[in-house]
Amino acid sequence: MNQYVYDSKVKPLTVNDLLAMKQRGEKISCLTAYDAGFSTLIDKVGVDMMLVGDSLGMVIQGHETTLSVTIRDMVYHTRCVSTARHRAFIIADLPFMSYATPLIAAKNAAKLIQLGGAQMVKLEGARIEIVRFLVDQGIPVCGHLGLLPQLINQLGSYKVQGKEPADAAKIIADAHQLQQAGAGLLVLECVPADLAREISIQLDIPVIGIGAGVACDGQVLVLYDMLNIGSGKRPRFSRNFMGDAGSIEEAINAYHQAVKQSRFPTAEHSF
């Protein structure tokens, strides 16, 4: 695997570039980002995607969940990230209750794209009608199945999803429905590796895993977790890439190369 050579004149990746990566069997690397400084470092290393996640509610704002994050917060942080990057594809989360109906979703997605500079928005759950409506308006959408952090008050705790056959079958069916509705990407969070492998094989769109095994088309981690600078306990599926690195840039590059070469996640970081 040749290391990416940074070029500030390169054009941003598109959703078609990511689809081509899946088709040729090249792993897709992704990290969360929340500001211009980290955006610059992540982009310089060559990480393919940056997710401006509502996880900022926990790692930036210090809350216990993502539920307090507003669309205004998301627009601000997305703009910080998108302004500083040259190559990486930018996805922004639609936060809690910002996509309750198709029209509300479209209004808030437009803010993330027009004001924030996002290239795609991500929403949690099998919200098929909403995904289809957004795609019909020309808004690229990333689905998110498995563990859904915005449902924490219903779930009660952050735990692995899809372990029972019926639950696994529901996630597979939802994944196909999201693809059929026009979703261009899918994030699978905290699901058994075998289930994630099956979904990655079945879908034409790229599947990005977090705590979902190495067989996904790509991987994403929360930046603060993989740098071991979070205030809370690092999730089992994450890894401290700062442990053997001499700088933050080295740690980010180590993650990027480990994903590209299918060396991360290992069984230790999977379910």
Question: How far is 145 from 261, CA to CA, in rounded Å?
Answer: 25
Tokens of 4: 């990416």
pLDDT recorded at residue 8: 65
Tell me the C-alpha to C-alpha distance, in Å, between residue 29 and each of 21, 22, 89, 126: 11, 12, 10, 24
The CB density around residue 113, as the number of other CB atoms within 10 Å, is 21
pLDDT recorded at residue 4: 67
For residue range 31-69, list pLDDT tens digits in order. 999 999 999 999 999 999 999 999 999 999 999 999 999
Q: What is the 3-state secondary structure (H, E, C) of the chain?
A: CCCCCCCCCCCCCCHHHHHHHHHCCCCEEEEECCCHHHHHHHHHHCCCEEEECCCHHHHCCCCCCCCCCCHHHHHHHHHHHHHHCCCCEEEEECCCCCCCCHHHHHHHHHHHHHCCCCCEEECCCCCHHHHHHHHHCCCCEEEEEECCHHHHHHHCCCCCCCCCHHHHHHHHHHHHHHHHHCCCEEEEECCCHHHHHHHHHHCCCCEEEECCCCCCCEEEECHHHHCCCCCCCCCCCCCCCCCCCCCHHHHHHHHHHHHHCCCCCCHHHCC
Residue 1 has pLDDT above 60, yes or no: no
Kindly indicate the confidence band of residue 7, based on its pLDDT and cuts at 50, 70 and 90: confident
Question: How far is 177 from 226, CA to CA, in rounded Å?
Answer: 32
Mean pLDDT of 181-194: 98
Mean pLDDT of 153-165: 91
Percent of the chain's residues with pLDDT above 70: 97
For residue range 111-146, list pLDDT tens digits in order. 999 999 999 999 999 999 999 999 999 999 999 999
The distance between the two most distant Cα atoms of the chain, rounded to a whole number of Å, is 49
Tokens of 67: 């539920």
The fold for domain 15-269 equals TIM Barrel (3.20.20)
**For all residues of the chain together, what is the average pLDDT?**
95
Catalytic option among 189, 249, 250, 268: 189
For residue range 188-221, list pLDDT tens digits in order. 999 999 999 999 999 999 999 999 999 999 999 9
For residue range 219-233, list pLDDT tens digits in order. 999 999 999 997 778
Kindly indicate the confidence band of residue 3, based on its pLDDT and cuts at 50, 70 and 90: low
pLDDT recorded at residue 201: 98
Tokens of 38: 């980290």
pLDDT recorded at residue 2: 47
The yes-or-no answer on residue 250 being catalytic is no
Q: Determine contact, residues 69/57, Cβ cutoff 8 Å.
A: yes
pLDDT recorded at residue 150: 96
pLDDT recorded at residue 10: 86
